[in-house]
Structure 1
Amino acid sequence: MRAPGFWQRPAGVLSTALAPLGALYAAGTARRLAKGKAARVGVPVICVGNLSAGGTGKTPTVIALAERLSARGVQAHVVSRGHGGTVAGPHRVVEAKDRADQVGDEPLLLAAFLPVWVAKDRLAGAQAAVAAGAEAILLDDGFQNPALHKDLSIVVVDAARGFGNGRVIPAGPLREPVATGLARADLLLSIGPEAAQARFRDGWRDKITVPHLTGHLAPLPTGLPFEGLPVLAFAGIGYPEKFFATLRAMGVDLKHGEALSDHQPLTEALMARLEQDAVRLGAQLVTTEKDAVRLPRRFRQKVLTVPVRLRIDDWGPLDAGLNRVLTGKGRPSR
């Protein structure tokens, strides 16, 4: 599913008409969060979530945190719902065995970096991870899930899109109002180039009530000759244009960018059509890491992958939060 275009525009007639439904959606989220008491699992739980539907950069953030924790000697495990997969779990993802349609593309990608558990029941997934030796839990999404206590919550936002028109689904892209969500968060991380960061700060500074980190996605050097390479790129992520912009910045000759829906299955028929288009254009097929794990087997050697990594401008506030939860000092009152 692609996000409606009006979600990114100032509130207009359609979003205003849908606002009462957005209020009901927000009320439902609030009721769900108020139910019961969130359970602890005996190790720190670090949540990487968002307020908006669609991609914001959570997966690169989880990878960056996994590397940061590993450098401290902390064995973290990821717990994910496994969006797009059929496994209910708790199930530990086996990279060489599981498929994206079983466990979801993000868990399969993350399994190359650290242990990953897929569980529709996040609490059960976290408990399974702890039983298997996890010293910290990285909760991939789940910011609006009430079952599991979060020791550190990081809200991730795409700097270029911000919080859209500021309204709740279906009137806008938000799962809950910005003020409500940030009241439960410890940190806000906006991801994007400096120009987008400046626009985000100007547009949302009055709503930002927590420490604000900034970062950007940078291509990981692979040694492949991308400069001047004729490319047909395809991406089934939350914001495909972000990937296409990355390719242009790398100097590729982007003949065509095929924007797919987030998590869209890469069927044999779709890939055959893209392959034919690439031949017609004299172009190389290129995609993202997340899409690559969904490729049919016979296309895996035909498509180049461009990995990206999150570069955070100032780790200070995040390191302070990690220090706090890893030393058991608890969440400060606000």
Structure 2
Amino acid sequence: MREPAFWHRPPSLLSRLLMPVGALYGAVATRRLMRPGARAGVPVICVGNYHVGGAGKTPTVIALAGILRSLGETPIVLSRGYGGRLHGPVRVDPHRHTAADVGDEPLMMAWTVPVIVSRQRAAGIAPARALGASLILMDDGFQNPALVKDISLIVIDRDRGLGNKRVFPAGPLRAPLPPQLARTDALVIVGFGTAADDVAASIAAQGSLVLRAQLKPDEASVAALRGRRVYAFAGIGDPARFFRSLRTCGINVVAERAFPDHHPFSHRDVADLQTAAERDGLTLVTTEKDLARLRNSENLKAFAQAVVAFAVTLAFDDEAVLRSFLTDRIGRARQ
């Protein structure tokens, strides 16, 4: 979906008119948060958001998987498979599955870590453990009560924060903020802005961990685009952040086009992008997640070959603190 602009502006008349609906939605969401979940039999680490839309959750999951492996763990990612048609449980095979099958994010993660897609998250535990999972790394699902989370890490963007801090549809929050804060074990703040400072202060005040991280561009991606005139496009939660990242790296972004998150690219979309790029002599560039959708569509593979992926990785400012936190909390979960 494309987020309404008023979500990220000061409270407006439209937002106020939607508040009664948001109050009802929030009451239902709060009751769901209170429900007891099932034990997985292994520690469960959930990486989630307080709000709808993107904040850097997928790069965080990938980075955590690498850190957990270095700690001697065997993480298996459990995902709902948003945007995919398969209900699962099924292990994602990036050589066989498409984004239409399992969703673009699971497909992207499956190149670096085993991923189980299961619409009913509890049903994905058995196949994950059969693969030798020493712990489950849940991609999203913070508000879903199906499983007990031993560690809940919330990702928030420092530039966008939580918008107007109202509950959907009056704002971007998936549930009222206080019960979400209370269930947060660690907050991961991505970027350089100040929009998340008040949330970070609340988390620190309750004794939970606050971590800072940055999305680091891949040097090869930057080198491939340096000196070129670029047409950037993206169908992610925050396309503007992607465009800013390109410009911060000194890439000459001449044109840009934003699509809704998880956008299923059509032949018309592709034709429009190709026509504009060829007319003005521009190089097409997009995110790894968007390119995963394009590459896995039989009809769009040829187009995908002409598109450059701008790869990023998440780096924590103080990884040693995170490693110590994970070691302690995983150990406690096993006790």
Q: Is the shorter-chain TM-score for this pair beyond 0.5, marking a shared fold?
A: yes
- Cα deviation code 1:94-152 (max 9, x no counterpart): 01010001100000000000100110011111222012211111100000110111111
Q: Conserved in 1, the CA contact under 8 Å of 2:43 and 2:334?
A: no
Give the one of 310, 323, 332 matched to 1:306: 310
Deviations 1:264-311 (A, max 9, x none): 012222112101110112100101000011112112210000110111
Q: 1:138 to 1:188 in 2, by over 3 A?
A: same
CA distance in 2, matches of 1:60, 1:48: 11
**C-alpha RMSD over aligned residues:** 1.6
Paired letter, 1:115: P
8 A Cα contact 2:159 2:196, kept in partner:
yes
Does the Cα contact within 8 Å between 1:50 and 1:157 map onto a contact in 2?
yes
> How far has the Cα of 1:240 moved from its partner?
0.2
Is residue 226–residue 250 contact of structure 1 (8 Å, CA) maintained in 2? no
Residue in structure 2 matched with residue 23 of structure 1 by the alignment: 23
* 2:282 corresponds to 1:283: yes
Deviation at 1:329, TM superposition (A): 4.8
* Cα distance in structure 2, aligned partners of 1:307 and 1:259: 18
Classify 1:317/1:183 alpha carbon distance in 2 versus 1 (closer, same or farther; 3 Å).
Answer: farther
Aligned partners of 1:119 and 1:125 also within 8 Å: yes
Deviation at 1:330, TM superposition (A): 6.4
Q: What's the % identity of the aligned pairs?
A: 47
Q: Could you tell me the TM-score, scaled by structure 1's length?
A: 0.94
Amino acid at match of 2:324: A
SS of residue matched to 2:219: coil
Partner of 1:293: 292
Following superposition, the deviation at residue 225 of structure 1 comes to: 3.2
Gaps in structure 2 of 5+ consecutive residues = 295-299
- In the TM superposition, structure 1's runs of 4+ consecutive aligned residues that sit over 4 Å from their partners are none
| SS at 1:47 equivalent | strand
What's the CA shift for 1:24?
A: 0.7
Partner of 2:319: 315
Shift of 1:315: 2.4
Residues 215 and 313 in structure 1, CA contact (< 8 A), matched pair in contact too: yes
Q: Which stretch has the larger CA shift, 219-228 or 179-188?
A: 219-228
Amino acid in the other structure paired with 2:13? V
2:211 corresponds to: 213
Preserved contact between residue 48 and residue 141 of structure 2 (Cα < 8 Å):
yes
Per the normalisation by structure 2, the TM-score is 0.93
- For 1:2 and 1:44, the matched residues in 2 are separated by 34
